[in-house]
Structure 1
Amino acid sequence: MFFSVVIPTYNRLPILQKCLRALENQQFDTGLISDYEIVVVDDGSTDATISWLDTEKANLPHVRLFTQNHRGAGAARNLGVENAVGEYIIFIDSDLVVTESFLQSHAQALITAENKLQSDLIFTYGAVINTCNFDNPTSEPYKITDFSAAYFATGNVAIKKKWLIEAGMFDTMFSQYGWEDLELGVRLKRLGLKLIKCPSAVGYHWHPPFNLEQIPQLIEKEIERGKMGVLFYQKHPTYEVKMMIQMTWLHRLLWGILSLGGSLNEKTMKPLLQWLINQGKPQLALEIARIFLNWYNVQGVYDAYKLSKNT
């Protein structure tokens, strides 16, 4: 079994360094995994990503670098898959730090499932644990907020390359934030692929501790996610997708009530959020901020849907 680990990246050099060093430190059974490559696709970074990768070639023997203009993660992943030599593709993000048994865990789960089901119509989905601990990200314990019910999310999945090609790869019309991986998941599900949970393949998703300066960018992401959610629904107009993108009366009612019709927002909640951050609880502050962030998302969905009907 030969793995190609495909990683899109954009201006994330400090955490990318940890990501790649962890991947170079893999321990595995050579009778199960013959070897692996790390396919890094730089999506037009303006930091020192490319120059650092060039100077560190000797220390990153598994890394192959490809570059493109800034076109988004979906296009970057497509470029990575097109140039990958492995039969199996593993997708992770460039802010994910894995354990040394990461590849072995995915490989064992794939082989076990294929033998049990007598089919290779499968993919494995590893665990993703969110952390803001940059110095030691793998020390973060699993939290209930780390649970994901997604069918296909590219934070940590392993799948045969041929199924990605047959499904049609990532749709590059998803040019803004969100949904390109779950939309591909809908097409993979139609091919009959079965999700196999692989909790032992752990990745630690690092993000900086929440602060109030991040709020404008987070709001913009939610509005973009709303727009891309409508594109998702236009391609797959099902109730399941409506639920996923929060385009139902239930979501509008829920977040409308919780945010008091938008009265609880980044301005009115600023003192509470800052107090929690000062108390050393930035993650709790972020979870509370999701009340108004989800309201922005729902509003963004409906605004984008209304605009699509008028054009």
Structure 2
Amino acid sequence: MFLSVVIPTYNRLPILEKCLRALEGQQYDPEVIEAYEIVVVDDGSTDGTIAWLRQNAADFPHVQLFEQQHMGPSAARNLGVQEAQGDTIVFIDSDLVVTSRFLQAHGEMLRDGQLALGNDHFFTYGRVINTANFDDPTAEPYKVTDFSAAFFATGNVAIAKHWLVEAGLFDTGFQLYGWEDLELGVRLKRLGLKLLKAPDAVGYHWHPAFSLEQIPKLIDQEIQRGRMGVLFYEKHPTWEVRMMIQMTWLHKLLWGLLSLGGRLNENTMAPLLQWLIDQGKPQLALEAARIFLNWYNVQGVYDAYAETQSK
């Protein structure tokens, strides 16, 4: 099989370099993987990503670079799929650093799945481990909080290209934060595709350690995710989607109670969060902050839904 690793990127040059160097160092069996390419789609970066990639092209012989104006990850992934030469697409994000046998692990599971099922009605989903360790991201152990129940998430997934084309690729209407990959997952599930886990296909998702300065951006992302969640529900008005986007009385009650009706918020919880950070526990602080972040998300969902009903 010929793998095309599709990576959208936007202003992430420092971690993108680590991402690409890890992909260039892949160890694989030619009987499993014939060849691979790395399709980088720059989504209008302003941090010198394009110039750096061109200046260092000799270090990245597998990279094929494409550019677009800033239109978001859906459009970037669609361009990557359209330009990809491989029969199989591997989606990762540009802040993911993979192990040396990452592609081999996906390839083996794709091969074994084909033999076991007698068809290619499936995709493989690798393991994503979150880390704030920029110097050595692959040193992070797997944690309970790294578990994901998502059906189709583009942080680490491999799928035959023709299924993406048949499903219609990503909906570029999802221009704000969230849900574009899970929405495509609903369409793939309707085509009869199954998820096969590939736990040895490990990627380390780097993000800065949590700090109070990040809170305004995180709140904005939750509000955006709420709005995009309503778009998701409009396309697929099912109870399953309502549960996914937290548009149920249960979620409203849960996060309303946990946040004391919004009284536990970014202001009232700031001293506790800063104390946890000072104790060297930024991840625990982030988990605590999810009390009010989820409350903002639920409010965003219901506000956006009310707007659609009033039109």
After TM superposition, the score normalised by the length of structure 2 is 1.00
Aligned to 2:138: 138
Aligned to 2:234: 234
Aligned to 1:150: 150
Aligned to 2:114: 114
Aligned to 1:216: 216
Matched to 1:51, the amino acid is A
1:172: Cα distance to partner?
0.2
**Distance in 2 (alpha carbons) for counterparts of 1:30 and 1:265:** 54
Give CA deviations for 1:95-149 in whole Å, capped at 9, x if unaligned. Answer: 0000000000000000101100001011000000000000000000000000000
**Distance in 2 (alpha carbons) for counterparts of 1:298 and 1:32:** 45
1:48: Cα distance to partner?
1.1
Matched to 1:282, the amino acid is P
Percent identity between matched residues is 73
Does 2:193 match 1:193?
yes
Does 2:80 match 1:80?
yes
Aligned to 1:174: 174
Give CA deviations for 1:36-55 in whole Å, capped at 9, x if unaligned. Answer: 00000000000010011001
Aligned to 2:263: 263
Aligned to 1:225: 225
**Distance in 2 (alpha carbons) for counterparts of 1:114 and 1:45:** 38
Aligned to 2:203: 203
1:32: Cα distance to partner?
1.2
1:57: Cα distance to partner?
0.5
**Distance in 2 (alpha carbons) for counterparts of 1:193 and 1:201:** 20
Does 2:148 match 1:164?
no
Aligned residues: 311
Give CA deviations for 1:173-196 in whole Å, capped at 9, x if unaligned. Answer: 000000000000000000000100
Give CA deviations for 1:24-78 in whole Å, capped at 9, x if unaligned. Answer: 0000001111110000000000001001100110000000100001000000000
Aligned to 1:302: 302
Does 2:35 match 1:3?
no
Structure 1 residue ranges, 4+ long, deviating more than 3 angstroms after superposition = none
**Distance in 2 (alpha carbons) for counterparts of 1:32 and 1:127:** 20
After TM superposition, the score normalised by the length of structure 1 is 1.00
Structure 1 unpaired stretches of 5+: none
